Amino acid sequence: MFKLIIKSISTQTIKYRNASSLNRLYSTSNNSGSNGSHFNMEKMSKKKYTPIDTPKLLSISSFFRYPEGGVNEYANLSKGTAFLVQTPKSGFIGKPNNSIYCISCAHITHPFQFPNLYKEEQYSWLYVLGESNIKAQLEYRDDETGKLLHSIPLKPPYYLHPLLDLVVFKVDEDDFKKSNIPYQASIIELEPYDFPKEGNPGRLFGYQLVNEKENIMKPMQIDFQFHFAESSERFFLSTESVSPMGVCGGPVVNIENEVIGMVEGLVQIDPTLIDKTPNPKKREFLRKTNNNTVFIPSQVLNNFISSIDSNIGFSP
């Protein structure tokens, strides 16, 4: 799993912080095991603390065309969040790994494999699409207005996890060094971290779609508490308000500035349907997870990316 090391793509290493945030989470040097999401700032003023760093992320958009169905020009398909990562040093000698990848949710680039996440009236045409109908791009956006400033096309191959809503792209670092880019996106290096405990606080980062017609997506962050692990591949978080869909593909950062995973999706179920569930255990599970944010733990991300990087393939 990995630690949030905000690495500039230039030769410098930069820590990014959100200067306008009035509700930061802090980690004290002698209170790192705290389970609360709110802290006594008067006591903390006498101790060392580290703000949760705000990484510089990218939005991701996919487009499709289907000439056989009359869609000759590329049209909007889906949007979300993406971030750049670098795998750990490899081997016993600790050889540096310079490969840069972009990760996000596969339902953004491959919706035909996740039709249940879309409206029923979209099912019929989603099934006829394939990779040849899709193009995707990474996007730089203005922090204040959410307007698109610059885009970088994502080139195949698309590395899809066989079981999870996860897509990985290998990207060219030179594309992110050009003088015309609006800002330097963060590269998150993958490092081990301790397994989270129930109640541990942290923060989600990503984009929120504000105006689809005007293509406005604004950066956002949401405080969370770790809820529970359903399995080794899927963890749940509780938040005060339901996370917006645009945050899918964004990093999950704990109070120690460690990235503990990537947002995979959201659980939203009509409470009346939950009440009608006949199986008591299933009904209780649905109540427990409703309105939770689901994320893929970083160890899974790390293993998948490392397998791609080493060209040995992935075995679930």
Range 297-315 average pLDDT: 78
Instruction: Say how far apart CA 194 and CA 22 lie, in whole Å.
Output: 28
Is the residue at 294 inside a domain?
A: yes
pLDDT of residue 88: 61
Residue 46 lies in a domain: no
Closest CA to 252 of 52, 42, 20, 39: 52
**Would you place residue 32 in the very low, low, confident or very high pLDDT band (cuts 50, 70, 90)?**
very low
pLDDT for residue 276: 92
Position 114 in a domain = yes
Tell me what pLDDT residue 180 has.
86
pLDDT at 220 over 70: yes
Q: Is residue 129 part of a domain?
A: yes
Distances (CA, A) of 282 to 57, 275, 295: 37, 10, 20
CB 225 within 8 A of CB 237: yes
The answer as to whether 5 is a domain residue is no
Sign of CA dihedral 266, 269, 274, 278: negative
Q: How confident is the model at residue 164 (pLDDT cuts 50, 70, 90)?
A: very high
**Distance, CA of 236 to CA of 229 (rounded, Å):** 6
In this structure, are residues 235 and 261 in contact, taking their beta carbons and an 8 Å threshold? Answer: yes
Q: Please tell me the total count of domains within the chain.
A: 1
- Mean pLDDT, the chain, rounded, equals 79
- Over the stretch 170-205, which tens digit does the pLDDT of each residue have? 998 888 888 889 999 999 876 777 888 899 999 999
Domain contains 280: yes
pLDDT of residue 49: 42
Residue pLDDT, tens place only, 96-118: 556 789 999 999 999 888 877 77
Quick check: 14 pLDDT over 50? no
76 occurs within a structural domain: yes
Q: What is the CATH number of the domain that holds 297?
A: 2.40.10.120
Amino acid at 280: P
Give 127-137 pLDDT, tens digit per residue.
788 899 999 99
Give me the pLDDT at residue 283, please. 92
For the record, the structure tokens of 316 come out as 């679930």
Flag whether pLDDT at 16 surpasses 80: no
Supply the range of the domain harboring residue 274: 51-310
> Do 220 and 57 touch, CB atoms closer than 8 A?
no
